[in-house]
Amino acid sequence: MKRGLNLDKVVLLGRTFEEYVRFFALEPEEWRRRPILDVASGVGSFCAEANAEGWHVTATDPIYELPADAIAARCRADLEHVLDAIGGKRTYRWEFYRDPARLRSFRERAWQQFLADYRVRGTERYVAGRLPTLPFRDGQFDLTLVSYFLFVYEDQFPYEFHRDSLREILRVTTGEARFYPVVTFEAERSSYLDRLKNDPACRDFDFVEVPTDFEFLVGSNSYLRVRPRRA
């Protein structure tokens, strides 16, 4: 029996700029002027907020094939489903969000800021794309971020999907890719991590699990950093 969040699909929840900075230990002065890709970004507001602060962020997700009204129709239903599902779960630590009401405020703010920007910027910043294939050229970005998609949905996407997606992400990235979290919704370290590190198909990459000071899912106080291995 599952003790964590039980989902039968990838839910449409957005995270904010503030959360991304915490998830990935981002240093604004290091990344503000460099090209960044946010993969599987959904209705997150990181792209909108970061660009407003002078960053250069592109977001990609399959939902960007849809008009804003069609995306908006899903946001509240998915949020209500998740908030109902996490009640009483012992797989979460509430030090940052404090309670479900404050968590709701972050999620609502994220999708509202996303939708406002999406309606104006459209394909200028938001590019439809579906892993394990991305519509970008080799080495187009210095940094790629993946939040709450790979690893956390381990039970819905097989190992081969993770491996091929990671390789594709590194194809379009010259600097490094960061993945958060590296635990599943059961609050268990993903079983795919060590397989990837030892997979001959990933021998050209360096993997480091970097500790952070943020934790919501139990054990989610680190991100995975992957860089091309230099000769």
The tens digit of pLDDT for each residue in 33-51 reads: 899 999 999 999 999 999 9
Name the pairing type of β-strands 205-211 and 222-228: antiparallel
The tens digit of pLDDT for each residue in 7-21 reads: 556 667 899 999 999
d(CA 229, CA 214): 28
Instruction: Supply the pLDDT for residue 29.
Output: 87
Backbone angles phi, psi at 87, to 5 degrees: -55, 125
Q: How many residues does the chain have?
A: 231
Residue with tokens 């394990």: 132
Bigger pLDDT: 87 vs 129: 129
Q: Please, what CATH class does the domain formed by 29-228 belong to? A: alpha beta
pTM: 0.93
Domain range annotation of the chain: 29-228
Instruction: Supply the pLDDT for residue 159.
Output: 97
| Amino acid (one-letter) located at 10 | V
User: Positive or negative, the Cα torsion across 20, 70, 117, 140?
Assistant: positive
Q: Is the pLDDT of residue 231 over 60?
A: no
Measured between alpha carbons, how far is residue 223 from residues 127, 141, 146, 183, 210 in Å?
25, 19, 10, 10, 5
